[in-house]
Structure 1
Amino acid sequence: MLLELAIGDAYGAGFEYANEMSADNDLSQYFKHPRHQLTPGSYTDDTQMSIAIAEVIVAQLPWTPEVLANSFVKTFKRDPREGYASRFYQFLLEIPDGKEFLAKIRPDSDKSGAAMRAAPIGIYRTPEKVIEAATIQAAITHNTPDGIDAAVVAALMSHYFIYRLGPKHKLGQFLEGYVSGNWSQPWEGTVKSKGWMSVRAAITAVMRNDSMSELLQDCIAFTGDVDTVAAIALGAGSCSEEITQDIPSHLVTDLENGPYGRDYLIELDKQLMTVYG
């Protein structure tokens, strides 16, 4: 899950809000964004915050706002990287721990930050537990109805496939049974910054593609906030028996592999999938 999520994030980072790059979406390599400094093959905040969530789950720590916020801060400070919103990046640089994070954060966003990091939560055994855990983590930074709903749906996406709860074409219907919204309605057009938009686009792409390579290209083809769409979709799609796992090998080998890169993600994936297995 985390490896595929990171590949989607890193590949999508070259295309985020860069419509002029659309013709390059051929999976041949990681692309340099025309306006950002991120090195091709590097993942962004979508993956780093998903790692923070996964590490709390694997360590079986108390699922509290302070523990989760501590993990967000620790994960960032040991490996600072671009990709975060500029003000949130500065905020993370300045605060020392989760306690101060909670004291100073303004948790009023309805953007995609809480949804992009929610995929690992799908490992919990029941939809009710997934909803509870996703809500708690979302409220830390995105304590709005849309921000929380987007995170809950993103977590339920991976849960649906991990626990084989139904066929892929009924994913949207399943999600609508737990969270109000038109989650089964196909998304069309550019994906803007609202969390529900990225999640709707990710659901659409997962439901209409049968291989990971097609899924990744389809996510990027929406244009807009496509690294988040791809991270959510590939995290869920990696758990589906109906989706052929055919990510090009060069996108795996060319993904960053520092202390928290490819090999770390593979090992953390293994630990995550055995915690409740």
Structure 2
Amino acid sequence: MLVELAIGDAYGAGFEYAAPEFVRRGNTLSGYVQHPRHRDVLPGRYTDDTQMSVAVAEWLLGGTLTREDLAERFVRAYHRDPRAGYASGFRSVLDRVNDGAELLATLRPGSDKSGAAMRAGVLGLLPDLGEIRRLTTLQAKITHDSPGGVAAALGAAYAVHYCRHRVGPVAGLPRWLAENVPAPAPYGRWTEPWRGKVGSPGMHSARAAVTALARCRKLSELLADCVAFTGDVDTVATIALAAASVSGEYERDVPEPLLVGLESEAYGRAFLAGLDGRLAERWGLD
């Protein structure tokens, strides 16, 4: 799961809010691309979407499952491996705090953007839907304590649960989400297919990911579809590939250049695969 979502994140990062023509020309899955403006995000490097998902995974595997412990893990993950991709305001906070307590004391968590949704997928591995809701809401409220921020995170986590536990056919995911995670106004409905550019609200990314998940059946097709929306496509791809990676309906055909081109540094592909192995031992991954 973490390897696949990191590939989605790193590939999408090359196209995030890029011009539509750049996306149309470059979205070939033949390799990672350099973003035309964000020169600090190198091709094949993942961003905050994956780093914060790693922190959530480590929290699930060995934490006390409190907001204080998760905040500590957010700070620890960033300080051991500072990287680009974070929103400038949040990154400046991470740069100056030393621990989770300082982070919680500093944040003003009213945003409706996608930060809570991008990292929520791993929570969907849990077998109990009530526990998924509790922990997803808890983690969302650290940074995105708003109706839209929480609903987007629940949508991302529930999508993984739906796919992993074979709740129904993937095509039925939008309707199931509509029954279990009411979409707050003014973000539209889960059952309404997303069209066009993905904006900054988390519900935009979550709805676009669900749209792509419901209509694709190959990881390669899904990744290209997520990026083709334009806008905040690295988050769309992160959410979608997390769910598709545990679905029995999806063909695991990640293009070889993207698999081998994913970063291989200390917290790169091998590290992510190791965490996936631990998640599989605990909750099972197909």
Q: What TM-score range do you get, normalising by the shorter chain?
A: over 0.9
- In structure 1, how many angstroms separate the alpha carbons of the residues matched to 2:207 and 2:194? 6
Equivalent residues, number: 276
TM alignment of 1:109-128, pairs within 5 A: 109-128=111-130
TM alignment of 1:94-173, pairs within 5 A: 94-173=96-175
* Partner SS state of residue 124, structure 2: helix
TM-score by length of 1: 0.98
Equivalent residue for 1:192? 199
- In structure 2, how many angstroms separate the alpha carbons of the residues matched to 1:207 and 1:222? 15
What amino acid maps onto 1:267 in structure 2? G
TM alignment of 1:225-264, pairs within 5 A: 225-264=232-271
Verify: 1:50 aligned to 2:53, yes or no.
yes
What amino acid maps onto 1:175 in structure 2? L
What amino acid maps onto 2:98 in structure 1? P
Counterpart contact for 1:135–1:151, Cα < 8 Å? yes
1:222-245 C-alpha deviation (Å, 9 max, x unpaired): 000000000000111111111111
Q: Which runs of 4+ in 1 moved over 6 A?
A: none
Equivalent residue for 2:13? 13
1:81-101 C-alpha deviation (Å, 9 max, x unpaired): 000011111110100000011
1:100-142 C-alpha deviation (Å, 9 max, x unpaired): 1111101010000000000000111111111111000000000
Identity %: 52
What amino acid maps onto 1:135 in structure 2? T
CA shift for structure 1 position 273: 2.2
The equivalent position to 2:85 in structure 1, one of 78, 83, 87, is 83
Counterpart contact for 1:123–1:273, Cα < 8 Å? no
Residues 202-211 or 166-175, more deviating: 166-175
TM alignment of 1:205-220, pairs within 5 A: 205-220=212-227
TM-score by length of 2: 0.95
What amino acid maps onto 1:222 in structure 2? F
* Partner SS state of residue 177, structure 1: helix
Counterpart contact for 1:71–1:98, Cα < 8 Å? yes
What amino acid maps onto 1:94 in structure 2? R
Counterpart contact for 1:46–1:117, Cα < 8 Å? yes
* Partner SS state of residue 17, structure 2: coil
- In structure 2, how many angstroms separate the alpha carbons of the residues matched to 1:246 and 1:203? 19
What amino acid maps onto 1:18 in structure 2? A
CA shift for structure 1 position 15: 0.3
CA shift for structure 1 position 58: 1.3
- In structure 2, how many angstroms separate the alpha carbons of the residues matched to 1:197 and 1:92? 25
* Partner SS state of residue 253, structure 1: helix
What amino acid maps onto 1:166 in structure 2? G
Instruction: Structure 1 unaligned segments of length 5 or more: list them.
Output: none
Verify: 1:267 aligned to 2:274, yes or no.
yes
CA shift for structure 1 position 276: 3.0
Equivalent residue for 2:186? none
Instruction: Structure 2 unaligned segments of length 5 or more: list them.
Output: 184-188
